Amino acid sequence: MKIFIDTANLNEIRKAKALGLVDGVTTNPTLLAKEGEEAETLIRKIWEEVKGPVNVEVTGMTCEEMVKEAKVMATWGEEIVIKIPITSEGLKTVKILSSEGIHTNVTLLFSPSQAILAAKAGATYICPFLGRLDDISFNGLELIRQIRAIYSSYPNIETQIIVASIRNPIHVIEAAMLGAEIVTIPPAIIEQMVKHPLTEKGIAQFLEDAKKIGTKK
């Protein structure tokens, strides 16, 4: 399973990279707005850091607007993936961009039927939003399970699942167990995944005992 980092914060990306965790990055307009830097400049910096897939979202509403925006964004780095919300205009855009070899990610995806359409349009990736479904008391993991089952039934589907909107480490574990190709994880959740109270307790105990045997001052 690949790990993408769900942030536009360069320092956070560098920290995760030092741990060997960055197979790619996902951004959205909200994440970019938090950084207070002009989008193109920041995305170029992120791409230089990652040298892998960097997802950037279009904001146009019509196919024409989205294709125009996407073609500019695609020049911001060598592996820019264009995120496109799932609408009829969005699907048309995916079809056009994928036929031109531009990688796409169908985002804001909340149902298996949307996932079927995205694959049919030729999306490189889809982003089902697990946490936002949980937030409104729907079973987000059930959505991932259904999409995985559908995509696995048709070997000709090449669209990869990026499980998005991750709220806790259990989401990551479950996504991995369901066979998602990618999980995009916010930096704070990575911190949570590293930690375990028994690890901390064990380290403290070993340090204490190491002092008794002269291997720790």
Catalog residues that contact ligand E4P under the rule CB under 6 A: 6, 26, 28, 107, 127, 129, 131-132, 164-165, 184
Residue 156: CB atoms within 10 A of its CB come to 5
Judged by CB, which is closer to ligand E4P: 148, or 171? 171
The candidate with the shortest Cα–Cα distance to 34, out of 8, 14, 60, is 8
- Angle of the 63-73 helix axis to the 88-99 helix axis, nearest 10: 40
Q: Which of 45, 83, 120, 217 is catalytic?
A: 83
Judged by CB, which is closer to ligand E4P: 28, or 124? 28
Burial letters 169-197, b for 16+ CB under 10 A, else e: bebbebbeebebebbbbbbebbeeeeeee
Strand intervals (E) in the chain: 2-6, 24-26, 54-57, 80-85, 104-109, 125-128, 160-163, 182-185
The C-alpha atoms of residue 124 and residue 181 are separated, in whole angstroms, by 12
Shortest Å, Cβ 157 to ligand E4P: 20
Shortest Å, Cβ 35 to ligand E4P: 14
Judged by CB, which is closer to ligand E4P: 29, or 179? 29
Shortest Å, Cβ 36 to ligand E4P: 18
Is 195 a known active-site residue? Answer: no
The C-alpha atoms of residue 173 and residue 167 are separated, in whole angstroms, by 12
DSSP 158: -
The candidate with the shortest Cα–Cα distance to 94, out of 76, 67, 114, 72, is 67
Judged by CB, which is closer to ligand E4P: 153, or 173? 173
Q: Which two three-digit tokens encode residue 70? A: 């996407």
Shortest Å, Cβ 171 to ligand E4P: 11
Judged by CB, which is closer to ligand E4P: 6, or 69? 6
Shortest Å, Cβ 5 to ligand E4P: 10
- Active-site residue numbers? 83
